[in-house]
Amino acid sequence: MAKKDDPPYARVEKSILPLKYVDMIEDVFHGILALALLGIAIGAFYSSIHRVIDTEPFFPNGMIQGINDILFIVIILEILRTVISRFTDGVYQLDKFLIIGVIAAVRHILTVGASLTLQTGKSDTAFERAVIELGLNALIVIALVFAIFMSKAAHRNR
């Protein structure tokens, strides 16, 4: 067993397969996942274009659906960027996942807010639930932005 003062090359990890093969298999798998995410993003874009064109009335329903779909595609592309950055940095980066969370929460806020303004005759219970959802998502956004700030501050202090 390597001691605390030993140089890094003195530490040997034991594995059934040599680590270089494990790393190579992992890289191939990440490449396949990146291609799958790209295909999903292209399919989502194609589907959203058709959905926006077919939605009646275009204003406001089609526009709201289009914005929702675009933000979903942005989330997919951010996940793709995170997988690709795994190749260059060797690790997943916390900041990228936090940004994906912010985008997802903002997307949900926009969706709930749009449904509140478009739907008339909502029951008091449904309205209260939607307002609580908006508040919770706003708190989630604030918490995630604070986490991004803390993460960036920690990187600056290194």
Q: Is the pLDDT of residue 67 over 70?
A: yes
pLDDT score for 7:
57
> What does the domain layout of the chain look like in residue ranges?
15-92, 93-153
Which of 3 and 45 is assigned the larger pLDDT? 45
The CA distance from 129 to 68, in Å, is 20
pTM, entire model = 0.79
Query: Is residue 76 predicted with pLDDT exceeding 70?
Result: yes
- 25 or 1, which is more confident? 25
Taking the C-alpha atoms of residue 12 and residue 4, their distance in angstroms, rounded to an integer, is 13
pLDDT tens digits for range 118-128: 877 788 898 99
Whole-angstrom distance, CA of residue 90 vs CA of residue 92: 7
Q: What is the pLDDT of residues 34-59, one digit of tens each?
A: 999 999 999 999 999 999 999 888 88
Q: Are 141 and 106 in contact (CB under 8 A)?
A: yes
